[in-house]
Amino acid sequence: MLTTLSYAGPKTIIELAKVMVLDRTTLGRNLRPLQRDGFIAIEAGKDDRRKKRLVLTKKGSSVALKAMDSWGDAQTNFEKAIGLENTIALSKLLRQVVKADYGTQR
Protein backbone atom coordinates (compact mmCIF):
# COMPACT_ATOMS: atom_id res chain seq x y z
CA MET A 1 0.00 0.00 0.00
CA LEU A 2 2.83 2.35 0.84
CA THR A 3 4.67 1.69 -2.40
CA THR A 4 1.46 2.09 -4.40
CA LEU A 5 0.86 5.48 -2.79
CA SER A 6 4.48 6.33 -3.45
CA TYR A 7 4.08 5.59 -7.17
CA ALA A 8 0.52 6.77 -7.68
CA GLY A 9 0.47 9.75 -5.34
CA PRO A 10 -2.35 10.72 -2.98
CA LYS A 11 -5.56 8.76 -3.58
CA THR A 12 -8.96 8.36 -2.00
CA ILE A 13 -9.66 4.96 -0.48
CA ILE A 14 -11.88 4.10 -3.46
CA GLU A 15 -9.19 5.13 -5.96
CA LEU A 16 -6.49 3.19 -4.10
CA ALA A 17 -8.74 0.11 -3.86
CA LYS A 18 -9.22 0.18 -7.65
CA VAL A 19 -5.50 0.55 -8.30
CA MET A 20 -4.68 -2.30 -5.91
CA VAL A 21 -7.63 -4.45 -7.04
CA LEU A 22 -8.90 -4.75 -3.47
CA ASP A 23 -12.27 -4.43 -1.81
CA ARG A 24 -12.68 -0.95 -0.31
CA THR A 25 -13.59 -2.22 3.16
CA THR A 26 -10.66 -4.63 3.23
CA LEU A 27 -8.32 -1.85 2.20
CA GLY A 28 -9.78 0.44 4.86
CA ARG A 29 -9.14 -2.12 7.60
CA ASN A 30 -5.55 -2.60 6.43
CA LEU A 31 -4.91 1.15 6.32
CA ARG A 32 -5.82 1.76 9.97
CA PRO A 33 -2.54 0.41 11.42
CA LEU A 34 -0.56 2.36 8.81
CA GLN A 35 -2.29 5.55 9.86
CA ARG A 36 -1.98 4.74 13.56
CA ASP A 37 1.76 4.11 13.19
CA GLY A 38 2.33 7.32 11.23
CA PHE A 39 3.05 5.90 7.77
CA ILE A 40 0.06 7.54 6.10
CA ALA A 41 -2.09 10.56 6.82
CA ILE A 42 -5.62 11.39 5.73
CA GLU A 43 -6.11 14.87 4.28
CA ALA A 44 -9.08 16.75 2.91
CA GLY A 45 -9.20 16.84 -0.88
CA LYS A 46 -8.01 19.97 -2.66
CA ASP A 47 -11.08 20.33 -4.92
CA ASP A 48 -13.65 18.86 -2.56
CA ARG A 49 -12.78 19.04 1.13
CA ARG A 50 -15.33 16.31 1.88
CA LYS A 51 -13.22 13.81 -0.06
CA LYS A 52 -10.44 12.37 2.05
CA ARG A 53 -7.13 11.51 0.42
CA LEU A 54 -4.49 9.11 1.67
CA VAL A 55 -0.98 10.56 1.60
CA LEU A 56 2.38 9.17 2.63
CA THR A 57 4.12 10.79 5.54
CA LYS A 58 7.91 11.19 5.56
CA LYS A 59 8.10 8.04 7.66
CA GLY A 60 5.89 6.21 5.13
CA SER A 61 7.97 7.41 2.18
CA SER A 62 11.14 6.16 3.84
CA VAL A 63 9.65 2.71 4.43
CA ALA A 64 8.23 2.60 0.88
CA LEU A 65 11.68 3.30 -0.61
CA LYS A 66 13.23 0.50 1.44
CA ALA A 67 10.43 -1.84 0.39
CA MET A 68 11.00 -1.02 -3.28
CA ASP A 69 14.68 -1.92 -2.95
CA SER A 70 13.76 -5.21 -1.29
CA TRP A 71 11.12 -5.88 -3.96
CA GLY A 72 13.71 -5.34 -6.68
CA ASP A 73 15.99 -7.90 -5.05
CA ALA A 74 13.11 -10.37 -4.70
CA GLN A 75 12.11 -9.85 -8.34
CA THR A 76 15.67 -10.50 -9.52
CA ASN A 77 15.83 -13.71 -7.46
CA PHE A 78 12.44 -14.81 -8.78
CA GLU A 79 13.52 -14.24 -12.39
CA LYS A 80 16.70 -16.25 -11.80
CA ALA A 81 14.72 -19.10 -10.25
CA ILE A 82 12.04 -19.50 -12.95
CA GLY A 83 13.58 -17.69 -15.90
CA LEU A 84 12.79 -14.40 -17.58
CA GLU A 85 10.49 -15.95 -20.20
CA ASN A 86 8.34 -17.60 -17.52
CA THR A 87 8.33 -14.40 -15.46
CA ILE A 88 7.00 -12.44 -18.43
CA ALA A 89 4.37 -15.11 -19.20
CA LEU A 90 3.20 -15.12 -15.57
CA SER A 91 2.99 -11.34 -15.53
CA LYS A 92 0.82 -11.36 -18.68
CA LEU A 93 -1.44 -14.02 -17.20
CA LEU A 94 -1.85 -12.12 -13.93
CA ARG A 95 -2.78 -8.94 -15.85
CA GLN A 96 -5.52 -10.93 -17.62
CA VAL A 97 -6.80 -12.19 -14.27
CA VAL A 98 -6.96 -8.64 -12.90
CA LYS A 99 -8.79 -7.35 -16.00
CA ALA A 100 -11.35 -10.17 -16.00
CA ASP A 101 -14.84 -9.14 -14.94
CA TYR A 102 -16.01 -12.02 -12.79
CA GLY A 103 -19.14 -10.23 -11.63
CA THR A 104 -20.90 -10.29 -15.00
CA GLN A 105 -19.92 -13.75 -16.23
CA ARG A 106 -22.26 -16.63 -15.39
Nearest of 41, 67, 65 to residue 55 by alpha carbon: 41
12-28 residue pLDDT tens: 988 999 888 888 888 98
Please give the average per-residue pLDDT across 33-48, as a whole number: 88
Kindly tell me if the per-residue pLDDT of 105 is higher than 60.
no
Quick check: is 83 in a domain? yes
Kindly tell me if the per-residue pLDDT of 104 is higher than 80.
no
pTM of structure: 0.69
Quick check: is 106 in a domain? no
**Which residues have a Cβ under 8 Å from the Cβ of 24 and sit 6 or more positions away?**
13, 14, 17
Contact 24, 17 (CB under 8 A): yes
Quick check: is 71 in a domain? yes
**Predicted pLDDT of residue 103:** 67
Quick check: is 39 in a domain? yes
Burial 88-103 (b: 16+ CB within 10 A, else e): eeeeeeeeeeeeeeee
Contact 55, 2 (CB under 8 A): no
Q: What is the CATH number of the domain that holds 7?
A: 1.10.10.10
